Structure 1
Amino acid sequence: MRSAEQQESKGGIWSAGYLPVTLANLTIVAIAAFDGLALVAALPSIADDLGGVALLPWVITAYLATSAVAGITAGPIIDAVGVRRTFRVAGVWFLFASAAAAAAPNMELLVAARALQGIGGGLVISVALTAVGLAYPQRLRARAFAANSMVWGTLGFGGPVITAGLLAVAGWRMIFVVQLPITALALAAGWRTLPSTRDKPQRIVMDFRGITLIVGLVAASLLAVEQMGDRWWLAAAGAAVTIACGAAFWAHSSSAEAPLVARVHITRFPLKRIHVTSGLVLIAGLAADNYLPLYMQTTRGRSASFAAFSVLFLTVGWSSAAFLVSRLLERWREADAILLGSILMIPAVIWAGVGVALTWPIPVIFGAFYVMGAAIGFVSTAGLTLLQASADDSEMGRVNSAHQFIRTIGITYGVAVGGAILLFVVGNQVGDVEVVRDVLGGEDVMTSAATLDAIRDGLVWVLGFSGVAGAGCLAAAMVLWRNTRRLASSTVGMSERSE
């Protein structure tokens, strides 16, 4: 009879040995997935109820900004006290912040509540990533990440439907109310089952100077990308402050005794190439995908509901590829899958750009975005698996948090720069970008033929930007693939000589 350890070593993520942590981790992912996918559809209702339309984008941006900062701050905390204790605090924080958002009486307090919610969300996502590296052996990590992606894909289909039902029955506040039982369920599932590297927690040493510099970098960079195409002088000032904060943080990370992120967690092979490929592939895919609904609703004359569902094709492609990678990595190296995904992104972006420019049938354009999503799935899933295989348990929190920060920043910058390019093209061709802002805000407005053509051309230019990001991803992936093969060959050679 085999021992329990032997059975566990041969089991999958749904086997008895791993089932509790799998359920806990997927419930954690569901918190972030539902929030991200449901709230975008509720923005028009929020604006109608609370007013303050000028602050409406900050309902999303405030969450992303604080989530990015909290995510990178989570690394030292997790490595000091463990995943389980960090999640308990983060989950309770997210629970109360969600309740505050649901009760917000005006737009200003809603934005403040969303900023607080982002702190909990960033901590929770870092916990979910680190838990995979600590709870599962290397052979199962890709499957765990694929299961996480399937949660995103499932909520991608169901999220808009659930949101529409909640808005029709109870209004936008119910979006946050529903998050309360989901968060409570995640807390119950993970309270005792998530792994912990520390039986006795160590003292948490916070790098407050490093955190301050990261806050400055995030705030200034968001200002820079938000003002592109509008107030160029302010965008330039924000970019200058961003560069200054980044340089100061880089210098600080080499001299501080316990830096927020050590240089080695960014530059060590293969971590640097993983960070770069994952960040660029997310920029390439999401810069255009976020504005596909605008194109469908205006230039193609589809309903708002149809347009909202257009973003699902990239999500489904991402989830499908993540599942495929979890199987391929039984025979492939992670660098092979990253290279394949990087190669896929180039023709997919060209396909999408030509399809939009020439007004190809909508299913053909959706097919291009599905392949773009598949490219992200290959690069992201294989990258996370290789990242965790290259990290020790003692540094798993900081390595994963650094990577999550780069991913979040990549998504934020991709969406912001894509929007700036789109507005610039529309403004240059028709001299008025307010109609674009009105449609993005959910208003039902009449658009001229010239504006419709400008939105189409704007999306084509955004896809051109996606192509540049995709080319950068491919270049980094080729270097990673080549160096990985060279390292593998030298390791085999050393083993043969030792024998």
Structure 2
Amino acid sequence: MVATTAGGDGPSPTDDDQAATGVGFRSDRGPVLAAIMLSTSLVALDATIIATAVPSIVHDLGGFSQFPWLFSIYLLTQAVTVPIYGKFADSLGRKPVMFFGIALFLLGSVLCGVAWSMPALIVARAVQGIGAGAVQPMSMTIVGDLYTVQERARVQGYLASVWGVSAVLGPTLGGVFSEYLSWRWIFYLNLPLGAVACWALARHFTERITRHRHRVDYAGAVLLTVGFGLLILGLLEGGVAWPWASAPSLSILVTGAVALAAFVVVERRAVEPVLPLWVFGRRILAGGSLTALCVGALTIGLSSYLPTYAEGVLGTSALVAGFALAAMTVGWPLSASLAGRVYLRIGFRDTALVGAGFVIGGALLTTLLGPRSTVWAVAAAAFVLGVGLGLTSSPTLVAVQSVVGWDRRGVVTGANMFSRSLGSAVGAAVFGAIANATLADRFAHPPARIAADLPRQADAASLVLGGHRQATPTAVADYVRASLYDATHHVFVALAVLGALVLGAVLSMPRRSQDLTFE
């Protein structure tokens, strides 16, 4: 239990929680919010920088067919650790969990910076993901503790501004480092930011904690990791490393499904489950998690393949591709700030429905991008989709936080963040499978005139990325570019389908305010 007193700029949001549970916070809310924004910038910058640096990483380390693992392994380890951190946050306090997460994230950043091969970089990204599993949900949980529903409308704008600044700085730094220095600097940049964030939290955020014994659900954590890990492995490598209908493919997918089924059984019996099933037992919580799942998948799909489309198909530089992607991460915080005002007037679900309309519109615009589209058209599609994601994700997260007390807020926030991370991890695997299958088919049946010069695997896409452009014969480059267009177009079509699923997820949430209760 955490026993403290609220202080700072304005009325305490947790007075009711304190009366019921004896829990509160003693903090200067302004400096704490600044520290949270700085901590969030670690995840925000990492998301926007690495997406634009992927072509340079592939050119340096090779392994185009493996690059989706850079996102999937990070998001998988982030997803499966989020519920664990949420559980510890409700028993040990928010502060130690946040420090542990930042420390692991910085360790992973160092390992990424010194990676010598694609497998080594993938392992380092896994370490980063374990740390990120604490940073983002703890930031949102602390905000939920310190601010009322009305105040969160304003605070959501502050947090959204972090993503807005990162949307400009991230792609810019990613492009500059990739073209003029080295992609490795995108990871070293996290070190000073993390150090300042830790210092600010240590100085301004105080908790008085009465620790109690708890039982860690190791069996649940292992089954959750193994289950989703095998499913992602099967999706990414199926049709590339082995045929879809082969024994390895089927055994991996079936084993993953069995592990997840066993996870559900274990969670029903666990004393302190890593992911309590009650968080999916109410419409508001289940609908919020389903929406977060779709938002995560959409975000990773656009972030992973829009820069690849811009560089590989349109022939832009990494810097220009980064600015095109930045349009999404500019639209998102702007609309998130607006959402904070809108949902106080028309409600959480109706605000999210407006966002779902923008999501569908932006996803459809990506399907209209052609081999000769302009960068402005790419940025416009990304911006519209970003507006939709901001209007959808913010109100649904605040809604699920608003129906529980302090002692459950960490769990429900963690479950929502878990759903978003899981959506990103599975989305990266599914979109990677779509792109790899398309490229593998195209490169397996090339025209006779270029067959001798074209590698017969998805890694041939690297011929139009990075420094290989100059040395590649024109006919081969044109065919690879056309193949890459087909692959990214199929991904964009999948994004449009996913946009429709966002609408269905939002509609599953209750509309009436009296339905937003949890006992």
Q: TM-score, normalised by structure 1?
A: 0.86
Q: 1:314 is matched with which residue? A: 328
Aligned mates of 2:181, 2:443 — CA distance in 1: 39
2:511 corresponds to which of 481, 484, 489: 484
Q: How far 1:31 sits from its partner (Å)?
A: 1.2
Query: Is the counterpart of residue 438 in structure 1 residue 467 in structure 2?
Result: no
Query: Is the counterpart of residue 237 in structure 1 residue 251 in structure 2?
Result: yes
Query: Is the counterpart of residue 460 in structure 1 residue 489 in structure 2?
Result: yes
Q: Is the 8 A contact 2:360 2:499 kept in 1?
A: yes
What is the percent sequence identity of the aligned residues?
Answer: 27
Q: 1:343 is matched with which residue? A: 357
Q: Is the 8 A contact 2:51 2:304 kept in 1?
A: no
Q: How far 1:160 sits from its partner (Å)?
A: 2.9
Q: 1:259 is matched with which residue? A: 273
Q: How far 1:103 sits from its partner (Å)?
A: 4.7
Aligned mates of 1:169, 1:450 — CA distance in 2: 28
Q: Which amino acid letter does the alignment assign opposite residue 180 of structure 1?
A: L
Q: How far 1:312 sits from its partner (Å)?
A: 1.4
- After the TM superposition, which residues 54-65 of structure 1 pair with which residues of structure 2 at under 5 Å, given as runs? 58-65=69-76
Count residues in correspondence.
Answer: 479
Matched position secondary structure for 2:239:
coil
Q: Is the alpha carbon distance of 1:479 and 1:249 closer, same or farther for their aligned partners in structure 2, counting shifts above 3 Å? A: same
Q: 1:473 is matched with which residue? A: 502
Q: 1:290 is matched with which residue? A: 304
Q: How far 1:394 sits from its partner (Å)?
A: 0.3
Q: Which amino acid letter does the alignment assign opposite residue 337 of structure 1?
A: T
Q: Is the 8 A contact 1:76 1:205 kept in 2?
A: no
Q: 2:18 is matched with which residue? A: none
Query: Is the counterpart of residue 145 in structure 1 residue 156 in structure 2?
Result: yes
Q: 2:10 is matched with which residue? A: 8
Query: Is the counterpart of residue 159 in structure 1 residue 170 in structure 2?
Result: yes
Aligned mates of 1:31, 1:142 — CA distance in 2: 23
1:385 corresponds to which of 390, 395, 398: 398
1:324 corresponds to which of 335, 338, 355: 338
Aligned mates of 1:209, 1:466 — CA distance in 2: 34
Q: How far 1:333 sits from its partner (Å)?
A: 0.7
Q: Is the 8 A contact 1:133 1:396 kept in 2?
A: yes
Aligned mates of 1:318, 1:6 — CA distance in 2: 29
Q: 2:234 is matched with which residue? A: 224
Cα displacement string for residues 193-234 of structure 1 (whole angstroms, at most 9, x for unaligned residues): 3464x6312224210011111111221122022124322134
Q: Is the 8 A contact 2:313 2:484 kept in 1?
A: yes
Q: Is the alpha carbon distance of 1:153 and 1:436 closer, same or farther for their aligned partners in structure 2, counting shifts above 3 Å? A: farther
Q: Is the 8 A contact 1:284 1:467 kept in 2?
A: no
Q: TM-score, normalised by structure 2?
A: 0.83
Aligned mates of 1:408, 1:382 — CA distance in 2: 18
Q: Is the alpha carbon distance of 1:311 and 1:251 closer, same or farther for their aligned partners in structure 2, counting shifts above 3 Å? A: same
Q: 1:374 is matched with which residue? A: 387
Q: How far 1:391 sits from its partner (Å)?
A: 2.1
Q: How far 1:476 sits from its partner (Å)?
A: 2.3
Q: 1:117 is matched with which residue? A: 128
Q: Is the alpha carbon distance of 1:344 and 1:92 closer, same or farther for their aligned partners in structure 2, counting shifts above 3 Å? A: closer
Q: Is the alpha carbon distance of 1:193 and 1:269 closer, same or farther for their aligned partners in structure 2, counting shifts above 3 Å? A: farther
Q: How far 1:5 sits from its partner (Å)?
A: 7.4
Q: Is the 8 A contact 2:363 2:385 kept in 1?
A: yes
Q: Which amino acid letter does the alignment assign opposite residue 264 of structure 1?
A: W
Q: How far 1:359 sits from its partner (Å)?
A: 5.1
Q: How far 1:41 sits from its partner (Å)?
A: 4.2
Q: Is the 8 A contact 1:97 1:116 kept in 2?
A: yes
Q: 1:200 is matched with which residue? A: 210
Q: Is the alpha carbon distance of 1:54 and 1:417 closer, same or farther for their aligned partners in structure 2, counting shifts above 3 Å? A: closer
Q: Is the 8 A contact 2:59 2:462 kept in 1?
A: no
Aligned mates of 1:144, 1:296 — CA distance in 2: 34
Q: 2:448 is matched with which residue? A: none
